[in-house]
Amino acid sequence: MSPHTHSPTVSTTPPPAPAPAPPEPPTVVLAPAGPLADGAHPPAAEPSTPGSAHTPTAGDTPTGRTTPDPGAPWRDRPLPRSWGWAVPGGGRAAHVESGALYQGTTTQVCGLFPFAVASGAVPTGVPIGQHMHTAEEVGLDPSEWLRGGLVTNTGMWIMGQPGIGKSTMVKRLVTGLVAFGFTAVVPGDLKGEYSALVEQLGGRVWRLGPGLGALNPLDAGPLAAALAQTQGTERDRLRETIRARRLALLEALVVIVRRGEISPTERRLLDVALDIAVTGAERTGVQPVIPDVLKVLTTPLAELLSITASEDVAEFRREARDLVNTLASLCQGAIRGMFDRPSSVTADMDTPALSLDISALDDADDDVVAAAMMSAWAWAAAVIDGSTALGRRRQVARVQDELWRALRVAPGLVERSDRVTRLGRHRGEVSMQITHSLDDLAALPSEADRAKARGMASRNGITVLGGMAERDLQAIHDITPLTTPERALVRSWAAPPSWRAGTRHPGRGKYLIKSGDRIGLPVSMTLSPTERELYDTDQAWRRPGTGTPR
Ligand SMILES: Nc1ncnc2c1ncn2[C@@H]1O[C@H](COP(=O)(O)OP(=O)(O)OP(=O)(O)O)[C@@H](O)[C@H]1O
Ligand SMILES: [Mg+2]
């Protein structure tokens, strides 16, 4: 609408006179200004646009010199810009007083939208998007929020129905955090969707799978180098960390492959066999591999025989055959070459980003996927811990996407994954765990797993919710309390309100960022063209020659 044709409906106070009164005040026609709505916006051309044709008018500077008035042709326009005339004396305010509170009905007040007053302090960090009510830029950086006392831990839990942009949000965050000096670690990228970003950030992608690369679950990574360089109690602590992680991972792999629990006798057998295998490997200066443990179990020493109370080796072999066969299946069949040899992956924490791409396994059996994810998580934890122990400490942003693909396979994996990946808050890590809904959690094999997972989710300092159905929202209350309007907002993102095709899905790029009992931050994220290309997971659905689907 042209400002000339606009008829103002609300009067506002005329712009104040400039502080040092000019000798000859400007001749300003003070017409009533319009509301802060779309119609009140300035004319397309700026009064002060260089090169625009202005009629010179005398005497409008504070010095009193006769100079052309660039704003003269605009003087009789009824509407100033919302912050005043862009000429000296035009009312531009260097300081704005705090506003008075007015109340009105929604019918009247909607005419004032977009509101000029912000919602209050918006936290700093990586720009995630615009606040959906105030249009302010919202930043997200759990480490900065921790320093600022907004959260007590730097864990993030991201949840929402498929395709609404959970991974996209994490990718934006990772990009920003890397710019802030973090190292991004993406262990177990099941769709391979972070690879393009990691490469773009100048990082390193390791592709794992049969015929691609191997990841030795018993590889201590840089922790082994740290062990060689430390002494005394620190060395003992590191040795114990390595041992506990190896054992937890080995147990987890056995549990995954057999999809059932491990017995106390088997646990002791693994414990002792692992120690013997590690001692043997250390003597030759290499990392132990699963076949070393198998060899110890198939040629048992007296120490092992006593664990199963076996009279002789033949009896021992019968007692231990389940365990031996389970371990052996990690070295055979479709996954041969993945877990049974030295890692082809090397750790480098000086890189800005690091990812273990296991997309070659996406169509593999659940147990293979779970074994790969669990091993990758353990490896990443060793890399992070190792670089800390070596004094090359960097802040880390660690992403665990599609979390439940690994945890749902067998009972006890939630606890074991926690043990395998646990890092202290003092390690300077921002963790991001992504899942679809609490149904994933409800599908875990045992009540103990479900309770543990609920704890894991609610311990995170920040919860990010994308569009989801009412049923999911009810369950979320345990993790983060939601107000009725918040629930309505998140629910409205779950599906388009009509069947009209061609509009963008209402949930894409919309997130409610929650922390504690505070009112959440509803944010809408807009992608740059580069991001749209890098983060795209819809490629399979695109017709040749068309752009990104909405
Ligand atoms: N704000 C946005 N603007 C435009 N496109 C977006 C936006 N957010 C996400 N997308 C696009 O939507 C698609 C799905 O996003 P994404 O893969 O992040 O979803 P997801 O929630 O992680 O899905 P899944 O649950 O399947 O892992 C991607 O192609 C992404 O580029
Ligand atoms: Mg995703």
**Of 128, 436, 535, 548, which is best to mutate to test ligand 1, by the most ligand atoms within 8 angstroms of its C-beta?**
535
Most confident residue range from 93-97, 432-436, 536-540: 432-436
For residue 193, the ligand 1 atom closest to its alpha carbon is: 17
Structure tokens at 243: 């041992």
pLDDT digits (tens, 9 = 90+) for 322-344: 999 999 988 887 778 888 889 88
Q: Are 412 and 261 in contact (CB under 8 A)?
A: yes
- The pLDDT, as a whole number, for residue 52 is 37
pLDDT digits (tens, 9 = 90+) for 248-297: 889 888 888 888 889 999 999 999 999 999 999 989 988 999 999 999 99
Is 0.85 topped by the overall pTM?
A: no
Q: pLDDT exceeding 90 applies to what percent of the chain?
A: 27
Q: What is d(CA 419, CA 237) in angstroms, rounded to the nearest whole number?
A: 15
Classify residue 32 by its DSSP letter.
P
Whether cis (ω within 30° of 0) applies to the bond prior to 114 is: yes
Q: What amino acid is encoded at 453 in this protein? A: A
527 ligand 1 Cβ < 6 A: yes
Q: Are 138 and 131 in contact (CB under 8 A)?
A: yes
Q: What is the arithmetic mean of pLDDT over 77-88? A: 64
Residues lining ion ligand 2 (Cβ < 5 A) are 167
509 ligand 1 Cβ < 6 A: yes
168 ligand 1 Cβ < 6 A: yes
331 sits in the region (left: phi over 0; alpha: psi -120 to 50; else beta) called alpha
- The pLDDT, as a whole number, for residue 27 is 36
CA 167 – ligand 2 centroid, Å:
4
**Of 168, 440, 468, 536, which is best to mutate to test ligand 1, by the most ligand atoms within 8 angstroms of its C-beta?**
168
User: Exposed, middle or buried, 114 (CB in 10 Å: 0-12/13-18/19+)?
Assistant: exposed
**Regarding predicted confidence, which is higher, 393 or 533?**
533
The answer, yes or no, to whether residue 33 has pLDDT greater than 70, is no
User: Nearest ligand to the C-alpha of residue 493?
Assistant: 1
536 ligand 1 Cβ < 6 A: yes
**Regarding predicted confidence, which is higher, 490 or 109?**
490
CA 307 to chain centre: 45
Q: What amino acid is encoded at 312 in this protein? A: D
CATH of 116-181+429-496+510-550, one of 3.40.50.300, 3.40.50.800, 3.40.190.10, 3.40.718.10: 3.40.50.300
Domain ranges across the chain: 116-181+429-496+510-550, 194-423
The answer, yes or no, to whether residue 130 has pLDDT greater than 50, is yes
Q: Residue 255: CB partners within 8 Å, gap ≥ 6?
A: 261, 262, 410, 411, 412, 413, 416
The answer, yes or no, to whether residue 351 has pLDDT greater than 90, is no
**Of 128, 130, 167, which is best to mutate to test ligand 1, by the most ligand atoms within 8 angstroms of its C-beta?**
167
Q: What is d(CA 119, CA 98) in angstroms, rounded to the nearest whole number?
A: 13
Q: What is d(CA 272, CA 304) in angstroms, rounded to the nearest whole number?
A: 7
- The pLDDT, as a whole number, for residue 112 is 73
Q: What is the arithmetic mean of pLDDT over 489-507? A: 74
CA 537 – ligand 1 centroid, Å:
6
Pick the closest to residue 472 from 510, 442, 496 (CA basis). 442
Classify residue 72 by its DSSP letter.
G
Helix and strand counts by DSSP (H, E) for the chain = 18, 11
Least confident of 23-27, 116-120, 218-222, 491-495: 23-27
pLDDT digits (tens, 9 = 90+) for 387-415: 777 777 678 899 999 887 778 777 777 77
CA 538 – ligand 1 centroid, Å:
8
Which residue is it, tokens 């070659």?
360
pLDDT digits (tens, 9 = 90+) for 218-249: 988 778 888 888 888 888 888 888 898 899 88
Strand 462-465 versus strand 155-159 pairing type: parallel
Q: What is d(CA 112, CA 103) in angstroms, rounded to the nearest whole number?
A: 12
